[in-house]
């Protein structure tokens, strides 16, 4: 599989939903496969909160492959021997696209908390500019999970003639208070960490030791991505072998797992980017800008395929089913699958074998 990573620079302004302007800006993106002469074999991949443009394959020195490597590649469900696949990093992220730690042109000063709030609508508008710069005006499909699924649905509403198929996994039509409350733990933990310094920390301040506030906030997020069943299966009530049961800070295996994963995450993900992307998730509402959710969904012309997971406690299956019922009542093309899973929200990243054939069939 041919993998290429590039950065596209835009000098024209990106007009944001808030009324502010981002100018200039950059988008980091990755491509796989070969573009047909008529440019009609393109699939766009949209990533989740902690994801990036690196969705598949490995680079020299990589310890693990891209976050959806099991789904994207030659002969896989999203077959890169047939399709030209594009995966772009959203604006606001910390993996190459313009974000809060980018330099604010024309000075060398970093945006930090002066970076404008970006929304899901803004993210997809920037991706539309990327596609136009590549001479691509039609997509075979748009595929994404979680925040990526939000982007896929927003594309379907805002740009109804862009794609043949929309495949949205583990998403919703609007972020609900339950999810916003989980996100609040992370936001406050970051803001109240003295080393956060109100966003004025040094660029590489957390590479060695991470930021405790982000690590703690990520624990709350990680709990929301899993399910009680997956934790029972993975950890049971096992205790760390060399920790004493009656030591105050002795740990169960689930506690050690949370520490390890979240500490590592806080060394690689920028806390300002985390705050901005969480804000985009919290403000997501497919109906915003339209008279109602019904009017927004009525705009959709693509074939929509919704996949939810039975134990997802972040975006409940009923939320995706609601979209499906509305589209069916409208006579629009929409399929819906609820996958039986004990892995919670993270099933869209973990249990690929349960839905890869469905995605393959859609694209075939």
Active site residues: 146, 312, 345
Q: Strands, DSSP E only, in the chain? A: 3-10, 14-15, 21-22, 25-32, 42-46, 72-73, 78-79, 84-88, 139-145, 163-169, 303-309, 334-339
Q: Measured between alpha carbons, how far is 198 from 100 in angstroms, rounded to an integer?
A: 13
Q: Measured between alpha carbons, how far is 132 from 139 in angstroms, rounded to an integer?
A: 12
Structure tokens at 220: 């709350």
Other beta carbons within 10 angstroms of residue 181's beta carbon come to 11
Which among 151, 150, 186, 152 is positioned nearest to 278, based on CA atoms?
A: 186
Beta partners for residue 7, in sequence order: 28
Give the CA diameter of the chain: 68
The β-bridge relationship of strands 72-73 and 78-79 is: parallel
Q: Is the peptide bond before 45 cis (omega within 30 degrees of 0)?
A: no
Q: Within 13 Å and on the Cβ side, how many CA atoms surround 166?
A: 31
Structure tokens at 187: 């936001």
Helix, strand, coil abundance in the chain, percent, nearest 5: 40, 20, 45
Q: Measured between alpha carbons, how far is 305 from 164 in angstroms, rounded to an integer?
A: 11
Task: Match 């200039």 to its residue by tokens.
Answer: 24
- Whether residue 324 contacts residue 293, with contact meaning beta carbons closer than 8 Å, is answered with no
Beta partners for residue 311, in sequence order: none
- Residue 101: is it exposed, middle or buried by C-beta count within 10 angstroms (0-12/13-18/19+)? middle
Q: Is the peptide bond before 351 cis (omega within 30 degrees of 0)?
A: no
- Rg from Cα positions in the chain: 20
């Amino acid at each position: 599989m041919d993998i290429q990573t590039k950065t596209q620079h835009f000098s024209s302004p990106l007009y944001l939903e808030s009324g502010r302007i981002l100018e200039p800006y950059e988008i980091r993106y990755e491509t796989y496969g070969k573009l047909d002469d008529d440019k009609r074999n393109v699939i766009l991949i949209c990533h989740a909160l902690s994801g990036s443009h690196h969705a598949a394959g490995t680079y020299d020195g990589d310890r693990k492959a891209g976050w959806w490597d099991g789904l994207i590649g030659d002969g896989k469900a999203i077959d890169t021997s047939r399709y030209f696949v594009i995966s772009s990093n959203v604006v606001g992220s910390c993996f190459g696209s313009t974000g809060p730690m980018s330099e604010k042109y024309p000075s060398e000063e970093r945006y930090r908390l002066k970076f404008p709030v970006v929304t899901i609508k803004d993210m997809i508008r920037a991706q539309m500019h990327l596609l136009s710069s590549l001479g691509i005006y039609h997509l075979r499909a748009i595929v994404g999970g979680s925040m990526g699924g939000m982007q896929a649905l927003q594309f379907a509403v805002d740009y109804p003639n862009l794609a043949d198929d929309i495949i949205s996994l583990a998403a919703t039509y609007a972020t609900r208070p339950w999810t916003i409350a989980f996100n609040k733990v992370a936001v406050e933990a970051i803001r109240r960490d003295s080393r956060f310094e109100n966003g004025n920390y040094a660029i590489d301040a957390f590479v060695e030791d991470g930021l405790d506030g982000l690590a703690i906030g990520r624990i709350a997020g990680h709990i929301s991505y899993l399910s009680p069943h997956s934790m029972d299966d993975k950890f049971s009530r096992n205790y760390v072998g060399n920790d004493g049961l009656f030591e105050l800070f002795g740990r169960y295996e689930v506690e050690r797992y949370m520490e390890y994963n979240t500490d590592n995450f806080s060394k690689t993900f920028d806390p300002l980017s985390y705050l901005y992307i969480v804000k985009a998730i919290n403000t997501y509402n497919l109906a915003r800008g339209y008279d109602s959710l019904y009017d927004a969904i009525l705009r959709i012309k693509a074939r929509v395929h919704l996949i939810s997971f039975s134990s997802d406690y972040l975006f409940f299956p009923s939320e995706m089913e609601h979209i499906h019922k509305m589209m069916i009542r409208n006579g629009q093309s929409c399929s819906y699958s609820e996958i039986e899973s004990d892995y919670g929200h993270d099933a869209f990243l973990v249990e690929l074998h349960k839905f890869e054939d469905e995605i393959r069939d859609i694209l075939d």
